Amino acid sequence: MKTTSLAMLIFAALLSACSTTKVVSDYNPSVDFSRYQRYIMSENSGADKSVSPFITDNVKASLQNQIKARLFTPAQPSHTADFIVQYYLAEAADTIDRSPRLGLGIGSFGGNFGMSSSVGVPLGKDTVNRNVQIIIDFLDPTDRKLSWRGSLVVELHNNDPKANAAAIEATVAEILNQFPPSK
């Protein structure tokens, strides 16, 4: 079991290393993030209806694990919270052509004039991958105004829930690595 967990984490790290998207973050520069110690999870968190509840549960669990790993503690009672953690998931289908192509071309050169044309013939089928954008917000508990936001798009696998969980864990960690913002 430990070997499987280690393999999933290594796979997630490699998967995130190959990511073509970067974390997008923004923040309110007047907020003192050093005072953020205790948090509560927002009841307004959620996802588009098209996002699987399993994916939403994975994001929530991963977010709670990552926040605790960064030594933030749940506020008891809730009115003592320094910040509110809220997340939102939006899913979009993205067609990605990963099939090899065969290129055929013709051309001629004469003097200073050249002409060429080419045709690409697909050798396989296009694949549709599910992409989920994970948005994590930190809100001020007094006025519920946004103080920090981080987001990233993660590619999910259609038939591998364990790979999805590992990819989500790595994505949430990558987003939270942008907090606190450097001024």
Give the predicted TM-score (pTM) of the model: 0.74
What CATH number was assigned to the domain covering residues 2-29+36-95+127-176? 3.30.160
pLDDT digits (tens, 9 = 90+) for 142-176: 999 999 999 999 988 878 899 999 999 999 999 99
pLDDT digits (tens, 9 = 90+) for 19-73: 456 999 999 999 999 999 999 999 999 999 989 999 999 999 999 999 999 999 9
Contacts 24+ apart (CB under 8 A), 22-25: 22/152, 23/150, 23/151, 23/152, 23/174, 23/175, 23/177, 23/178, 24/150, 24/151, 24/152, 25/148, 25/149, 25/150, 25/151, 25/175, 25/178, 25/179, 25/181
